[in-house]
Every structure is written in structure tokens, then in C-alpha cells.
Amino acid sequence: MAIIGVDVSKLSLVAVRTSSTGIVKESFEIQNTEVEIGTWLDKLQSKHKYLLVASEATAEYHNILAKACLAKAIKFRLLNPILTKQFNRATIRKRKTDLTDALIIAKLAIQGEGSIVTPASLSPAKVVHRTAIRLVKVEQTLESMCRRFSESLPEEKAVNQQLLDCMQLLKTSCEVLRSRARESTDPKLTKLLMSIPGVGERIVVTLINEIENIHRFPSPKSLVAYAGLDPRVRQSGTSLKRNTHVTKRGSIYLRRDLYIAATIAARWDSEVHEYCEKKLGEGKRYREAMMACSRKLLNRVYAVWKRGTPYERRLATTGT
């Protein structure tokens, strides 16, 4: 199998082809356009029967490559940028070039890192939902800027009004995008997942868009790992330590909303509340306890979605 590691930027792609053992065979540099990527992939397919292409998740710049691979039935892995940074830090020679990044991506793909991209991963609903989340952050930043500007220069009424109009337009855009994302979700699945304490209208949209299909996860542990909520494990010689920190390898959108859902559930659901108190009693900090609650909540999501029945306490999967 030919492994292609790709370092993606807005305008171009730098790639390396390696063997299945990580030996570099050739390198490429092409423009990040549909035509150039399509031509390049056609040439690769004519020479190699089996291909695996991998890149980092870099804003939306990897989308053209991912869509082209899907269209040509080429397996495509998407890696969390944190992984490549950690890999580079662990090397003796800490070089940072596009080619070294592409090689690191290829080596990580050989190890099975990253998630396989599916058509659902690139669905318009997912893009719409993620854009809405990003715009909320912009809205919060703009709101803070408007407040500071108004306090500093209250006499600039015209400018203040323009800033307020801009903020209102941003809020409206966010609501439109959220509405579109909600409309695209399965109403039966939405109702099912909202039976779980802590999961509301906004959070359920994140769960459905980020998880995509529960049947691609063979166990709750695999879903927890996908969300990046599994504890770090460090081994040195015969010493094996489970860190209180999580790996943060998965979807930041999923992880963030699960944390919010866990804080809500810890207030209103007696089982989650007791579990949180238990973790705090063990000496865990509040954030660590809430991460454990997030894992517990994700176990519930797995059980409810997989079985197709509303949440009941007996359905919850035990463990952290």
C-alpha cells in the first residue's frame, strides 16, 4: 500500500509518498485546487492499486483533498494537529518544514491515527453547524469590543451604532445557521437523545453531527476515544501511569458540548451529581471531575443511540 502524507495550506499541498514501513519514496508539491488535486490522484491511482491519503485538519483547507479522495474511492484519514506537534516534539531533531510535517502525517497514518473521512463527515449540515459555533465565538469577541469601545468613546455614536448593527447581523446569521443545522437532523434521533439529562436542543445537534453514525463505534470506549475524553496513559519501563488529563485527540466541538451537558446533568441528575461528588471526594479537581462526568454522559449517548430506546437509568453503561 502507498501511504501519502499531505501538509495542507490555503494555496498548496506538500506531500510525501511512503511505503507501509514509512520509507520515503517520492515527494510532491501541487496547488490546492480541484483540477490539480484530481489530476495528481489519477496519476497515483494509475501506479498504485491501494492508496491511503492523510492530512491534518486545517480549518477548511483539507476539504478539497478529502472530497476528491472520496469521489475516487481513496481511503482518507484526517488527523488532529495536536498529534503531529507531539510527534515532532518527541524527535531528536526538531525540524519544522512542510515536508517533515507531511512525513510525520504519513507515519501517524501508518500507525492508524486519525479518523477515516466519510461522506457524512463532509456533509453540508456538519459544515453549517461548525460555522455557527465559530461565529458564536466571533460574536462574543465583538460584543466585548463593542462594550469597551462604547465605554471609552461614548461620543462616537455613529460608530457605536455601526458596531451594534454588525453584532446584530452576526447574531441573526448564527441563528439562521443553527436553524438549518437543526432542520437537517433526524427528528426521531433528536427526541431519543434529548431524553438524556443534560442534552438540550443545541447540544443534541452537535452530538448527531459530530458522531455521525453510532454503528461505526464498536464500543463505548471507542466513542470516548473519538471524543478525546480518554485519559492519557504514560509508560516508562515497568511503570504504567494513567494521567488525569484527557488526550484531546478527537472533535473539540463534541468534547466542548459534552462538558457543558455534564455540568447541567451534574446539577439536575442525581446519578451524575453523586458521581461528580465521588470524583471530587477522591481529590480530583473540578474540571477533572467534569471530564469524568462527560465520559459517563457519552456512555449514555452510546447506549441510547445504539439501542434506539429513550434513556433510563438502567441503560447507562457503567464506568468512566
* Residue 198, phi then psi, degrees to nearest 5: 100, -20
C-alpha cell at 292: 469524568
Question: Could you tell me which of 296, 215, 303 has the C-alpha nearest to residue 258?
Answer: 296
The yes/no answer on whether domain 2-119 falls in CATH 3.70.10.10 is no
What pTM does this model have? 0.67
Pick out the chain residues at pLDDT < 70: 59, 88-96, 232-249, 314-320
Location of C-alpha cell 431519543: 192
Predicted local confidence at residue 238, as pLDDT: 41
Question: Domain residue spans in the chain?
Answer: 2-119, 123-184, 190-315
Asked if residues 109 and 80 have their Cβ atoms less than 8 Å apart, the reply is no
β-strand 75-79 against 51-56: which pairing, if any?
parallel
Asked if residues 28 and 51 have their Cβ atoms less than 8 Å apart, the reply is no
Predicted local confidence at residue 125, as pLDDT: 83
d(CA 208, CA 23): 39
Question: Which residues, at least 6 apart from 196, have a Cβ–Cβ distance to it below 8 Å?
Answer: 261, 265, 297, 300, 301, 304, 311
Query: Model confidence over 133-163: pLDDT tens digits?
Result: 888 889 889 999 899 999 999 899 899 899 8
